[in-house]
Amino acid sequence: MQVSQQLAAQAVGQVLVGRNLSVVLEELFQQHRDITPQQRAASQDLAYGTLRFYARLEAFLKQLLQKPLSDAFIHHLLLVSLYQLSYDKAGSHTVVNQAVLAAAKTRKTWAKGLVNAVLRNFLRQKDVLEQRLASNEAAQYSYPQWWINKLKQQYPEHWQSILDAGNQHPPMTLRVNRRHGSSEDYLHALQAEDLNAHALDVQAIMLERPVPVSRLPGFEQGHASVQDWGAQFAALALDVADGMRVLDACCAPGGKTGHVLELADVQMTAMDNDASRLQRVQQNLDRLGLQAALVQGDASAPDAWWDGISYDRILADVPCTASGIVRRHVDIKWLRREQDVMTFAKQQQVILQGLWRLLAKGGKLLYVTCSVFHEENRQQIEQFLHVQSDARLLPLKHTALQSNQGQLLPGTEHDGFFYALLQKV
φ and ψ at 392, to 5 degrees? -135, 150
pLDDT attached to residue 89: 83
Sign of CA dihedral 117, 123, 129, 130: positive
Could you report the per-residue pLDDT of 318-343, keeping only the tens digit for each?
A: 999 999 999 999 999 999 999 999 99
Could you report the per-residue pLDDT of 340-352, keeping only the tens digit for each?
A: 999 999 999 999 9
Q: Is 370 a catalytic residue?
A: yes
Give the mean pLDDT of the chain.
95
Stronger pLDDT, 27 or 405, i.e. the higher one: 27
Does residue 307 surpass a pLDDT of 90? yes
- Which listed residue (250, 251, 320, 370) is catalytic? 370
Does residue 383 surpass a pLDDT of 90? yes
CA atoms within 13 A on the CB side of 105: 13
Least Cα distance to 414 among 255, 227, 177 occurs for 227
- For residue 126, what pLDDT band results from cuts at 50, 70 and 90? very high
Does residue 90 surpass a pLDDT of 90? no
Least Cα distance to 138 among 54, 50, 55 occurs for 55
Looking at the chain, the domain(s) classified CATH 3.30.70.1170 span 173-226
Lowest-confidence region among 101-110, 142-151, 160-169, 238-247: 101-110
- For residue 107, what pLDDT band results from cuts at 50, 70 and 90? confident
| Segments in 171-242 forming alpha helices (H) | 183-192, 229-237
Tell me the C-alpha to C-alpha distance, in Å, between residue 243 and each of 265, 311, 312, 313: 6, 11, 10, 11
- For residue 181, what pLDDT band results from cuts at 50, 70 and 90? confident
**Dist. CA 296–CA 308, nearest whole Å:** 16
Looking at the chain, the domain(s) classified CATH 3.40.50.150 span 229-424
Does residue 221 surpass a pLDDT of 70? yes
Angle at 414 between CA 413 and CA 420, to 5 degrees: 140
Does residue 258 surpass a pLDDT of 80? yes
| Long-range contacts of the stretch 199-206 (C-beta < 8 A, 24+) | 200/173, 200/229, 200/413, 201/229, 202/178, 203/175, 203/176, 203/178, 203/232, 204/173, 204/174, 204/175, 204/176, 204/229, 204/232, 205/173, 205/174, 205/176, 206/171, 206/172, 206/173, 206/174, 206/413
Least Cα distance to 147 among 333, 417, 340 occurs for 333
- For residue 402, what pLDDT band results from cuts at 50, 70 and 90? low
Does residue 57 surpass a pLDDT of 90? yes
Examine residue 253 and say whether the peptide bond preceding it is cis (omega within 30 degrees of 0). Answer: yes
Across residues 288-308, what is the average pLDDT? 95
Does residue 369 surpass a pLDDT of 90? yes
Across residues 137-150, what is the average pLDDT? 97
- For residue 403, what pLDDT band results from cuts at 50, 70 and 90? low
CATH of domain 173-226: 3.30.70.1170
pLDDT attached to residue 405: 82
**Percent of the chain with pLDDT strictly greater than 90:** 93
pLDDT attached to residue 254: 94
| Long-range contacts of the stretch 200-205 (C-beta < 8 A, 24+) | 200/173, 200/229, 200/413, 201/229, 202/178, 203/175, 203/176, 203/178, 203/232, 204/173, 204/174, 204/175, 204/176, 204/229, 204/232, 205/173, 205/174, 205/176
pLDDT attached to residue 396: 92
User: How do beta strands 224-226 and 245-249 pair?
Assistant: unpaired
- 420 touches 379 (CB < 8 A): no
CATH superfamily, region 229-424: Vaccinia Virus protein VP39 (3.40.50.150)
pLDDT attached to residue 342: 97
Across residues 292-300, what is the average pLDDT? 95
Does residue 52 surpass a pLDDT of 80? yes
Does residue 35 surpass a pLDDT of 70? yes
pLDDT attached to residue 79: 98
| Length of the chain measured in residues | 425
Could you report the per-residue pLDDT of 74-86, keeping only the tens digit for each?
A: 999 999 999 999 9
pLDDT attached to residue 425: 96
φ and ψ at 333, to 5 degrees? -60, -35
Looking at the chain, the domain(s) classified CATH 1.10.940.10 span 2-142
Stronger pLDDT, 373 or 107, i.e. the higher one: 373
Residue 202: left (phi > 0), alpha (psi -120 to 50), or beta? alpha
CATH superfamily, region 2-142: NusB-like (1.10.940.10)
